[in-house]
Structure 1
Amino acid sequence: MSETARPDERAGTDSAIPSLGAVFAAVTMAAVLVPVRSGVDDPFIQVAAAFAVVAVVGFLARRHGALERTPGALAAAGASLLVVLLTGYALNQGTTAPTTVPGLEWTVSSIFLAFVAAGASIGIAAADYAGVSTAGLVERTLRFSTMVVLGFAGLVGMAVVSIVFTPLLGTGDLEGQLLQFLSTSLGLGSVAAIYMAMRGYDRTFVDLEVPDLRAVLWTVGGLALLFGALVGISLAMTAIGVETAEHGTTQQVEQNPELIAVIVPGMLLIVGPFEELLYRNVVQKSLYETFSRYGAVVVTSVVFSSVHVSAYGVNSTAGEVLATLVVLFGLSLVLGFLYERTDNLVVPALVHGAYNAIQMLVLVL
Structure 2
Amino acid sequence: MATASRRRTDGPLRSTLVAAGLAIFGLIATQFTTLPALLLDPKLLTAPTEASITSRTVFFVLNFLAFVLVGAIYIAVTDRGWSYVDVRFPTRQGWAYVLVGIVASIAFYVLISVAIQLLSLPAAENQVASYIGSDQTMILVMIGIVFFFNAPAEEFLYRNVVQKRLYDAFSRLQAVGIASLIFGLIHWPVYALLSESLLATAVPVAVVVGGAVIFGFLYAKTDNLFVPIIAHAVFNGVQFGLLYLALEYEIETAEPTTSLLVDLVAAVPL
**Range of TM-score over shorter length:** 0.7 to 0.9
Q: Which has the higher contact order (CA 8 A, sep 6+)?
A: 2
5 Å-filtered alignment, 1:86-105, equals none
Q: 1:170, CA displacement in angstroms?
A: 5.6
Partner of 1:339: 219
Q: Does 1:309 align with 2:181?
A: no
2:244 partner amino acid: V
Aligned 8 A contact 2:29 2:70 in 1: yes
Q: Does 1:350 align with 2:222?
A: no
Structure ID, larger Rg: 1
Aligned 8 A contact 2:151 2:229 in 1: yes
In the TM superposition, what whole-angstrom CA distance separates every residue of 1:32-80 from its partner, at most 9, and x where no partner exists?
xxxxxxxxxxxxxxxxxxxxxxxxxxxxxxxxxxxxxxxxxxxxxxxxx
5 Å-filtered alignment, 1:174-213, equals 174-213=53-92
Structure 1: how far apart are the matches of 2:129 and 2:232? 16
Q: Where in structure 1 are there 5+ consecutive unaligned residues?
A: 1-7, 10-134
5 Å-filtered alignment, 1:1-365, equals 139-168=11-40, 171=43, 172-317=51-196, 318-365=198-245
Aligned pair in 2 of structure 1 residues 182, 256: CA closer, same or farther (>3 Å)? same
Structure 2: how far apart are the matches of 1:215 and 1:170? 44
Aligned 8 A contact 1:305 1:329 in 2: yes
Q: Which stretch shifts more, 331-340 or 307-316?
A: 307-316
Q: 1:251, CA displacement in angstroms?
A: 4.6
Aligned 8 A contact 2:61 2:145 in 1: no
Tell me the number of residue pairs that the alignment of Structure 1 and Structure 2 aligns.
231
Q: Where in structure 2 are there 5+ consecutive unaligned residues?
A: 1-6, 44-50, 246-270
1:152 partner amino acid: I
Aligned 8 A contact 2:180 2:209 in 1: yes
Q: 1:173, CA displacement in angstroms?
A: 4.7
Partner of 2:263: none
| Partner SS state of residue 59, structure 2 | helix
Aligned 8 A contact 2:216 2:228 in 1: yes
Aligned 8 A contact 2:163 2:179 in 1: yes
| Partner SS state of residue 34, structure 2 | helix
| Partner SS state of residue 344, structure 1 | coil
